[in-house]
Every structure is written in structure tokens, then in C-alpha cells.
């Protein structure tokens, strides 16, 4: 069975949209802090994976927020920090996500979320975004206690989905994630949401490149799934 595994942060929802919540607390520096927060969130996950010092993605997110605020010389009360972390579980989906998933499900394609986030966080986030019921499963790296792009997490995805490596497609807006998937023998769909986005010059090009998920759904429909 063909499986489409959708990365969550950066593919189904936009983590940089947290700048809208940040703006209420930090003003004009919101976008800069949001960008640093996201960068450090990923860095901390990479480092913990390499060090074999696992802590879930929520911990990485909270620690990254602390760093981003301190680096920006911003001091917030604990209640405000907690509010920001709660807002992170209420990010809105990209506009194409719901109609694209509806189309893919109508085509009979198995669609799962595949994320660094723990299942409880994914349930809250994707439930709020209105996409939880459009997914066949939620696959989290938390279940094997390491992070993307460790090959173990992509192999776990294949096993969990009941698919085979050559029938399993990672759909992501994050090039590093796709390179990790290709390294483990999966197929890669790059959602290039920005014309200025660059794909890493190593690790192999993606198998498919689309500007959004609706374009992917249309392409698969023409190909017969």
C-alpha cells in the first residue's frame, strides 16, 4: 500500500506563525525571535539525537524559547512563556492542507502524520487545525526515543505503516528531513512553499517537487494514485 507520510511542523502547519502570538508580548522583534526559536528547536533535537540524550520535542521547544528570548534580551514572566507554548499547539494549517488531504483520502491513498512531536502534542495541534480526522495514523519519533534524521525513525515509519520502503513517501517542506528519508530508502516529496527556498546540494534531489499539497494531490490523481 502506498503511504504518504506528512511532516507536521513546516509542512502541515507553519511554526513561524508563532510570531503572531509573540508580537503581543515582544512587539517588532517577534519575527526574529520566532525564526531563532525554530532554528534552536531543530538544533536541540539534532543534538539530543546525536548525543543519545533524548528528551521529547516539547522540551526542545521550551528550551529553544528560553534561548531565543535570552539571545534577544527579552524577559518574560513564566505565565507568558507557558502561554506561548500553548499557542504552539494551536498553530493554523497552511490553506492547502485540508482540501489536499480530502482529495488524497478520496483517491484511496493512506495518509499519516510523521513528526518529531509526541502523539499527545500532535493530537492537540492537528485537532485544532481540523486535520486529525483526515489522517490514518500519527507516527511519532517519541515512540523510539530519537529524532529525525536518524535512519531508525524512517524505518519505524515504514514498519508502522505496513508499507515498504519504495512505497513510502515522505512529504515535507524541510529539505533536511527529505534527505534523511532518502538516505533510509524512502521516496521524497519536497513542498517548496517559497520561491526562494533552497534544497541542500547533497543527499540527492527529491523525487517530486511541488509548490503546495494541492499540486501534489492533482499530480497523483492524474497518475492514478
* Maximum C-alpha span of the chain: 54
Is 7 a catalytic site residue? Answer: yes
pLDDT tens for the chain, 225 residues: list them: 589 999 999 999 999 999 999 999 999 999 999 999 999 999 999 999 999 999 999 999 999 999 999 999 999 999 999 999 999 999 999 999 999 999 999 999 999 999 999 999 999 999 999 999 999 999 999 999 999 999 999 999 999 999 899 999 999 999 999 999 999 999 999 999 999 999 999 999 999 999 999 999 999 987 765
The CATH architecture that domain 3-13+93-222 belongs to is 3-Layer(aba) Sandwich (3.40)
Residue pointed to by grid coordinates 491513498: 109
For residue 46, what are the CA distances in angstroms to 30, 150, 176, 209, 212? 24, 9, 11, 25, 26
How far is it, in rounded angstroms, from Cα 49 to Cα 116? 11
Which is nearest to 191 in space by CA: 199, 181, 200?
Answer: 199
Intervals of CATH 3.40.50.1000 along the chain: 3-13+93-222
Domain with CATH 1.10.150.240 in the chain: 15-90
Which position among 7, 14, 96, 150 bears the catalytic label?
7
d(CA 87, CA 187): 32
pLDDT per position as a tens digit, 85-129: 999 999 999 999 999 999 999 999 999 999 999 999 999 999 999
What distance in Å separates the CA atoms of residue 79 and residue 179, rounded to the nearest whole number? 38
CATH no., domain 15-90: 1.10.150.240
pTM for this model (two decimals): 0.95
Amino acid at each position: 500500500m502506498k503511504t504518504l507520510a506528512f511532516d507536521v511542523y513546516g509542512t502541515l502547519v507553519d511554526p513561524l506563525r508563532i510570531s503572531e502570538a509573540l508580537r503581543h508580548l515582544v512587539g517588532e522583534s517577534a519575527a526574529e525571535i520566532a525564526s531563532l526559536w525554530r532554528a534552536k528547536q531543530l538544533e536541540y533535537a539534532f543534538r539530543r539525537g546525536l548525543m543519545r540524550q533524548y528528551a521529547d520535542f516539547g522540551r526542545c521547544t521550551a528550551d529553544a524559547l528560553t534561548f531565543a528570548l535570552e539571545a534577544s534580551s527579552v524577559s518574560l514572566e513564566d505565565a507568558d512563556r507557558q502561554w506561548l507554548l500553548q499557542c504552539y499547539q494551536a498553530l493554523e494549517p497552511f490553506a492547502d492542507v485540508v482540501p489536499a488531504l480530502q482529495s488524497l483520502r478520496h483517491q484511496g491513498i493512506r495518509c499519516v502524520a510523521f513528526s518529531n512531536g509526541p502523539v499527545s502534542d500532535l493530537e492537540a495541534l492537528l485537532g485544532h487545525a481540523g486535520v486529525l480526522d483526515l489522517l490514518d495514523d500519527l507516527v511519532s519519533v517519541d515512540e523510539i526515543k530519537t529524532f529525525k534524521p536518524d535512519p531508525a525513525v524512517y524505518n519505524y515509519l515504514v514498519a508502522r505503516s505496513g508499507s515498504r520502503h519504495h512505497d513510502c513517501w515522505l512529504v515535507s517542506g524541510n529539505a533536511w528531513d527529505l534527505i534523511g528519508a532518502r538516505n533510509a530508502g524512502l521516496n521524497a516529496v519536497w513542498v517548496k512553499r517559497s520561491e526562494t527556498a533552497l534544497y541542500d546540494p547533497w543527499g540527492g534531489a527529491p523525487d517530486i517537487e511541488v509548490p503546495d499539497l494541492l499540486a501534489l494531490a492533482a499530480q497523483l490523481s492524474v497518475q492514478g494514485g
